[in-house]
Chain A
Amino acid sequence: MSEIVLKVEDLHTSFFTRSGEFRAVDGVSFHVREAETFGLVGESACGKTVTGLSILRLLPEPAGKIVSGKITLDGTNILELSKKEMRAYRGAMISMILQDPMTSLNPVYTVGNQIAEPVRQHQRIQDKNMVEEKVISALRLLRIPAPERRLQDYPFQMSGGMRQRVVGSIAMSCYPRLLIADEPTTALDATIQAQYIALFKDVQKETDVAIIFITHDFGVVANMCHRVGVMYAGKIVETAATSTIFKAPRHPYTNALIHSVPRLDRKDDRLYSIEGQPPSLLNLPPGCRFAPRCPDVMDICNEQQPQEVEISEGHSVSCWKVK
């Protein structure tokens, strides 16, 4: 098996606000290997995006803070790096793709200019032609047609799909070890989404980059990820290989999510649905966080938090029902 690039251990991230402490990420552990894609799946406000931002140490100041935990990239605990050292990691070792291609590029600078920045910053290349070469190869990596002619274009002259490729080029321009992709395809149309995912599989094959893929869409997970962690209210409730998650989910929440989505390959008359809403992060239930909505709830679920149990190689679940 290839080497572990990133390891997150017992990460706690909170937002301290006027109304109290939001425990957005509450004890999350996982790892990603070289050339592997790890999916972080969950509904809104489950903490998946905050996990991504914690790894980059780019939480909104001053409310967001990493309370405890350890994040190791290639053996270095990045939470112990100085601000300046961390900056040298960003863009060079760890990069990220944001959700909305329409707002994530600076509207007043050309595409070429924006891709060149990390190249100049991290690879310390000043020669104009060298930089341009690097920029073009980054555009080529993301299969952007006629890259030489794209350099002088402004973001608004491109379609959403193309812009998201440009964002991908920026992220990959320094060949990082780890790429965090936060819902990169959610804003795209179905056929463009399929293109983008196929493209990223190729990019991964070429560069061996480790990818954390944050999404709410199980279809995307199936197509893109090797392993998946399902998040609910700040915790990972189940981690397993993708096919295991789909075929033999053990946590009732995973099960509910997978079965409440209508299937394209058969006609359903009714959908399986769970009632209620995810709990408020300000006021979490004392026991299992899913207990109030769980169809298989037991007494202990409301009293104590379940521990993570590894039920088979690479398949861990946090549920009292699973022994």
Chain B
Amino acid sequence: MLNTLNVVRLLPELILLVTALVVIFVDLYARRRTALWLLPGVSIAGLVLAFVAAFAQWGAQEVVAGTLAADSFAFYFKLVAAVTVVLVILASVRYMRERTRFLGEFYAFLLVATLAVFVAVSATDLITVYLGLETLSIVSYVLTGFLRDDKRSNEAAIKYFLYGAVASAIMLYGFSLLYGLTGTTDLAEIARRLQAGDVLANLEWVAWPAVILAAVGFAFKASLVPFHQWAPDAYEGAPTPVTMFLSTVSKATGFAVMARVFLTAMPSLGEYWMALLYGLAILTMTVGNLIALRQTSVKRMLAYSSIAHAGFILMGLVAVTAPAGGHPFNGLDGVLMYVVAYAFTNAGAFAVVAAVEDGTGDATLDNFAGLIARAPFLAAAMLIFLLSLAGVPPLAGFAAKLFVFAPVVRQEYYALAVVALVNAVVAAGYYLKVVKQMFFVEVPERPAFAVARGMRWALWLMIIGVFGVGIFMNWFAFMSVRSAAGMLGL
């Protein structure tokens, strides 16, 4: 069996694993001053290598060892994850240095979390799906509670852990029913068995429990309402770089897995899960936005806003169709577009929050007052990210919204489109509140503060990303259409 294993396909994962171990050893043997730059340096180098390894295989289409897919869909998410984690690491250099002694472990955990993402997004077997998601979750609990002497970090981790453990148990029960009905854990095989005669007769009774129970697990990872309660707390309490990771990469993984499981294993149950996701999408964006409106902490506001955005991403999945005649708006490519746009934008917004926390000690709305005078670069960056979040052209957020709205309209889900539109307007309202605070509230007595070098680089990269995705929309659309087609088996 082993000789059929194509190790080249696993190269990105292997590189990450080796890098994580190297980081631990560097931490063990390097002097503290060297370690401060060497640890993030090694981690970023590993991620870049993994990125290259994944990019080189773009366009492949095969199954590795029976449980992992090496297809464009997986590689797309791997690329996004690698880039985002590089940004997270850049943003965390100073933030973490001042808060914990265990830097080597921190970077190693980030790398292992990325490894888990890589496994989860390419999983084609219920076993790897579960294991990938759960590895990501468990490592995320540790990352969230990394500042163990900080009550808020610990509390965030515990809430995350308790919700996560329950959600994964529920998801597993759903998986076990699917396994019982079809007698296999392979996603493609499940799809085949679900259409067999003896299974069809039972389908109506197992479909709902299996879909709902499995969806709970994915919805938890993607922080969809009503499985979102952990998210604001975890996002607020976690070290802000970790929040960057959770709100972008971890969430994107939830969507990737959800898309793959639903589309490859249960295409015949489409009406069930699409109806479910339809409801979840409306609920998620509305509840997220309404609560975000009355937040006083920017970090928490962004947390709720990121829940609301999950609702938007879900729209793409609801409207998934086979791309007729190479038509770009098939829904799934909207999800992919949104994920990459959102990764830059939201990671950027949280990075600014981290920088403000570093400079002023906290991230309430009040701390942002008059930011333009104290840290003009941060204020400008935040403005760009907020505009992108609101969906203003020519920024990334606009491209993303375009690609999820279009298929929804094409499918004639007008109610969903209207709700989403109203929500987008509401969201713009509270983004502007922050803008107003930064630019038009003057607080003369507050001192200016500098931004750490790594953070500045990260912010520049993310600004470039936000503009890039918005301006070179066509290229990203091409990429996402291709990878969506790769997974839809076209």
Does A associate with B in a complex? no
**Which B residues form the contact surface with A (CB < 8 A)?**
none
**Which A residues form the contact surface with B (CB < 8 A)?**
none
